[in-house]
Amino acid sequence: MSGTGPYCPPAWDAGAGALRRDRLATLPFLKALQGTTRAAVVKALTLCTAEKHEQIIHERASADSVYLIIDGAVMAWKQRGPSDTQVTGFLFRGDLLGTLIGERYLYSARAVVACQLAQMARTRLAELADRHPDLRHALYGQVTSDFALAQDHLSMLGALSADERLASALLQFERRQRARGVAEGVPVWVPMRRTDLASYLGLELPTLSRVFGRLRRDGVISTPSTTDIKIHERDTLMRLSGDA
Amino acid sequence: MSGTGPYCPPAWDAGAGALRRDRLATLPFLKALQGTTRAAVVKALTLCTAEKHEQIIHERASADSVYLIIDGAVMAWKQRGPSDTQVTGFLFRGDLLGTLIGERYLYSARAVVACQLAQMARTRLAELADRHPDLRHALYGQVTSDFALAQDHLSMLGALSADERLASALLQFERRQRARGVAEGVPVWVPMRRTDLASYLGLELPTLSRVFGRLRRDGVISTPSTTDIKIHERDTLMRLSGDA
DNA sequence: CGCCAAGTTGACAAGTCTCAATGTAAGTGG
DNA sequence: CCACTTACATTGAGACTTGTCAACTTGGCG
């Protein structure tokens, strides 16, 4: 049921539902909705989980479901050729996965670590959006912000050197982590494999590894574990990434 | 009123209105709407023009207007630093410029050549969208396709070599040109300066120029003029770009 | 404890960037 | 109509970053 195999839809989860419903209510996306809208949306959501490395959506598969990430980390990628993929983004708690328009998904996605998700049929969401203007607004805002993120990523790949790209990504992850409510000073959580981070940055794995080495050697960061990165000199990272 | 100077809002145009209203009606975006919706939208649109190199929208300026491109070519870019910009896309007839959500524009845009535009106040469009489900649908589809384009661009910058990037871009331009109704076999229109195309491709100008040279020398393309590119071996370009 | 996946490091090749010169087309004024 | 100017495109030489291939190390997990 887990693994990187063909296709396994996220597992339905019967137990511990209450616990996760609590985590649901505090999501910014839902908090932005009016009471009645929120109730309708929450009622329509189905809680489920995805194991580590489990594929959640398949590029070009029929885009039947939309997923709200409650906890965990998800990686999105595009297939360019038989063995040539490009990681296009990472999604965390509060991010939305899927599309509301178009027959097919625009990218594939898999869980980087075990995830808790909330699923809804796309048609159901479209119905709800038709009746609730504030939900429409929230959904439109979500796509717009996805677009903005893609544009930032794009300008990173187009203009920055290897060191600058990693600096930029680390600051992005830290910023998003803080937006999720994590305290300042907590090491940045970088749960994906180096290979995938390298692809996201448009680099080869050894190049990325060297950049990590340099930043470590210069005391800009330290890596208590592969997935936890402590920032010591934020100003250096900001200078590298070109502020912004 | 033209030029690359600070800011000059697109000029209102009194004459030749009828001519351009005709060009309006055939735009896919409008054709997709129901009769009554289309009438309301067309009525709310104001025709205007932008001279060559005239800046149309400013990143981070208040996003008051939305523009529909009737004719011409527009370039969108992000400002990374004082003198460091990244071209994020090119827009042609039928494309939409601006944003419906968020206070500010997400990018700057200027006319690559003299353009004919149709402008509408953002608030006006929002009102119309609230009343017309099919307009909502069309607008949502527009953002989604912008997002898809950004993702494709992103995977190009992340994974392809210089030659592959140009091949990929030429095919993209040709495809969009054909979608605009231009006959097959007509040279691909590449109206932007080499500098801007290079930025779009994440390359330096001399590198791009060398790639053009190679493709010309190998007989894959020829360049009757700087802005018109004839494709002789489409299969070579497709192989380079990784099909798709 | 040993295995396997993942990450790091080294040596070298290749592609791209940088700086600079040259070429070419469009625009301007005599 | 031509010389001049300017902007843009092309080409060349050398430096430098990044990619490639391979060995080695580390860390998680049975």
DSSP string, A204-219: -HHHHHHHHHHHHHTT
| Side-chain half-sphere exposure of B227, counting CA atoms within 13 A | 8
Angle at CA of residue B96, ends B168 and B60, nearest 5°: 95
Helix/strand/coil for A59: coil
Condensed to tens digits (0 to 9), the pLDDT of residues B51-67 reads: 999 999 999 999 999 99
Indicate yes or no: strand D within 7 A of the C-beta of B21. no
Tokens in use for A26? Answer: 């505090």
Indicate yes or no: strand D within 7 A of the C-beta of B124. no
3-state secondary structure B153-193: HHHHHHHCCHHHHHHHHHHHHHHHHHHCCCCCCCCEECCCC
CA B106/CA B98 separation, integer angstroms = 8
Helix/strand/coil for B65: strand
Nearest CA in chain B to A142: B101
User: Could A151 and B155 be called an inter-chain contact, meaning their C-beta atoms sit closer than 8 Å?
Assistant: no
CA A10/CA A69 separation, integer angstroms = 12
Check residue A20 and give its pLDDT: 67
Which positions in chain B touch A81 (Cβ < 8 Å)?
242-243
Question: What does DSSP say about strands B65-71 and B96-97: parallel, antiparallel, or unpaired?
Answer: antiparallel
Helix/strand/coil for A48: strand
Say which DSSP state A15 is in: T
Condensed to tens digits (0 to 9), the pLDDT of residues A62-86 reads: 999 999 999 999 999 999 988 899 9
Give the other-Cβ count within 10 Å of A127's Cβ. 13
CB pairs under 8 A between A and B: 109
CA B69/CA B23 separation, integer angstroms = 10
Helical H runs in B86-161?
122-131, 133-159
pTM: 0.92
| Protein CA B192 to sugar C1' D20 (Å) | 35
Closest residue by C-alpha to C1' distance, nucleotide D18:
A207
Range B85-103 average pLDDT: 95
Indicate yes or no: strand D within 7 A of the C-beta of A162. yes
List of residues 6+ apart from B227 with CB closer than 8 A? B189, B190, B191
Nearest CA in chain B to A86: B155
Flag whether residue B104 sits within 8 Å of chain A, measured between CB atoms: no
Which residue among A146, A155, A157 sits closest to B147, beta carbon to beta carbon?
A146
| Protein CA B223 to sugar C1' D9 (Å) | 12
Helix/strand/coil for B219: coil
Mean pLDDT across chain A: 91
| Residue A4, pLDDT above cutoff 70 | no
Check residue B69 and give its pLDDT: 96
CA A82/CA A84 separation, integer angstroms = 6
Question: What does DSSP say about strands A73-81 and A65-71: parallel, antiparallel, or unpaired?
Answer: unpaired
Range B151-174 average pLDDT: 97
| Nearest DNA or RNA nucleotide to B223 (CA to C1') | D9
Condensed to tens digits (0 to 9), the pLDDT of residues A149-200 reads: 999 999 999 999 999 999 999 999 999 999 999 999 999 999 999 999 999 9
Condensed to tens digits (0 to 9), the pLDDT of residues A205-239 reads: 999 999 999 999 999 999 999 999 999 999 999 99
Widest distance between CA atoms in chain A:
56
Closest residue by C-alpha to C1' distance, nucleotide C16:
B207
CA A118/CA A93 separation, integer angstroms = 11
Tokens in use for B211? Answer: 């790639």
Residue A103 corresponds to which amino acid? E
Range A51-56 average pLDDT: 95
| Residue A2, pLDDT above cutoff 80 | no
Which residue among A144, A159, A199 sits closest to B101, beta carbon to beta carbon?
A144
User: Could A202 and B106 be called an inter-chain contact, meaning their C-beta atoms sit closer than 8 Å?
Assistant: no
- Decide if B71 contacts A113 (C-beta within 8 A): no
How far B192 CA sits from the closest chain A CA (Å)? 18
pLDDT tier, A6 (very low <50, low <70, confident <90, very high otherwise): very low
Tokens in use for A136? Answer: 């429409």
User: Could A155 and B199 be called an inter-chain contact, meaning their C-beta atoms sit closer than 8 Å?
Assistant: no
Condensed to tens digits (0 to 9), the pLDDT of residues B216-227 reads: 999 999 999 999
Report the footprint of strand C: residues with C-beta closer than 7 angstroms. Answer: A 193-195, 205-206, 208-210, 212-213, 223, 226; B 161-163, 202-204, 206-207, 225
Condensed to tens digits (0 to 9), the pLDDT of residues A97-133 reads: 999 999 999 999 999 999 999 999 999 999 999 999 9
Using CB atoms within 10 A of its CB, is residue A79 exposed (0-12), middle (13-18) or buried (19+)? middle
Check residue B25 and give its pLDDT: 84
